[in-house]
Amino acid sequence: MFIPIHDRNPLTIIPWQIVTLALIAINVVVFLWQQGLAEQALAEASYAWGMVPSVLWQQALLPQDVAVIPEGMTLVSYAFLHGGWLHLIGNMLFLWVFGDNIEDSMGHARFLLFYLLCAVAAGALHALMEPGSQIPLIGASGAVAGVLGAYLVLHPRVKVLVLLFSRIPLRLPAWLLLSLWFVFQFVSLAIAGGEDSTAWWAHIGGFLTGMLLIVPMRDKRVPLFDRGTEH
């Protein structure tokens, strides 16, 4: 629906968004590794490192040569795999635009923990809503959705430059942009009726988790809802 380009929201506590940049780099490196795999090996990697709900709930088992990590660990590892260039670029662009300010609000170590917790919660909700699914969940979308949820709570008044429908440049307040994004997940879920390959529940779970976690995890110097700031 929209592509974020830039937000007018400078860092105030940390000098550089080190973890955000590192996460983007790791995702790109892992994707390049995926691209080097043969078709069969790529499919096996998706099952090995992706999160398969039926396997997580032990309703199904992976072959021994594919089950390389415990099922619970896939609630983290799935968030570093992607299904294609557009999937990767979209997630990393959202992380680039919105992640730096969330990292700024809590510091490097807590931001990494926050990001991983959002990934776990997103994957868990997807698995809870699709318990019998044998399709591996992959992608950083759930974790990045957590970043968006946190941004909505911290910086609703910040103006964000976006391309609407990939063509129309607009500068919109974050509260409107991210609220529409969240509503879009429910609308898409209702339209798809469970027949879509997109993990809408993971997006919803990550977003809500980010909204909740930002309150206790942020630095107490960072106000909620842009209180006391001008944009």
Strands (E), 17-150: none
pLDDT band at 84 (very low <50, low <70, confident <90, very high): very high
Least reliable range by pLDDT among 27-36, 97-106, 192-201: 192-201
Cα 93 from Cα 98, distance rounded (Å): 9
The 10 Å Cβ neighbour count of residue 12 is 12
Instruction: Answer for the pair 185, 203: CB distance below 8 angstroms, yes or no.
Output: yes
Looking at the predicted structure, is the pLDDT value of residue 178 above 60? yes
pLDDT in tens, 198-221: 899 999 999 999 999 999 999 999
pLDDT, position 192: 78
pLDDT for residue 231 is more than 60: no
Beta pairing, strands 2-7 & 159-164: antiparallel
196 pLDDT more than 80: no
Segments making up each domain of the chain, as ranges? 2-226
Q: Are 81 and 139 in contact (CB under 8 A)?
A: yes
* Residues 114-159: tens digit of each pLDDT: 999 999 999 999 999 999 999 999 999 999 999 999 999 999 999 9
At residue 212, the pLDDT reads: 98
Strand order in the sheet with 159-164: 2-7, 159-164, 168-173
pLDDT digits (tens, 9 = 90+) for 56-83: 999 999 998 898 999 999 999 999 999 9
Taken in order 5, 110, 198, 129, the sign of the CA dihedral is negative
What is the b/e burial string over 98-125, where b = at least 16 CB atoms within 10 angstroms of the residue's CB?
bbbbbbbbbbbebbbebbbbbbbbbbbb
**Average pLDDT for the chain:** 94
The CATH architecture of the domain made up of 2-226 is Up-down Bundle (1.20)
Calculate helix-pair angle for 141-154, 174-192, nearest 10 degrees: 140
**Model confidence, pTM:** 0.94
Q: How confident is the model at residue 2 (pLDDT cuts 50, 70, 90)?
A: confident
pLDDT of residue 195: 63
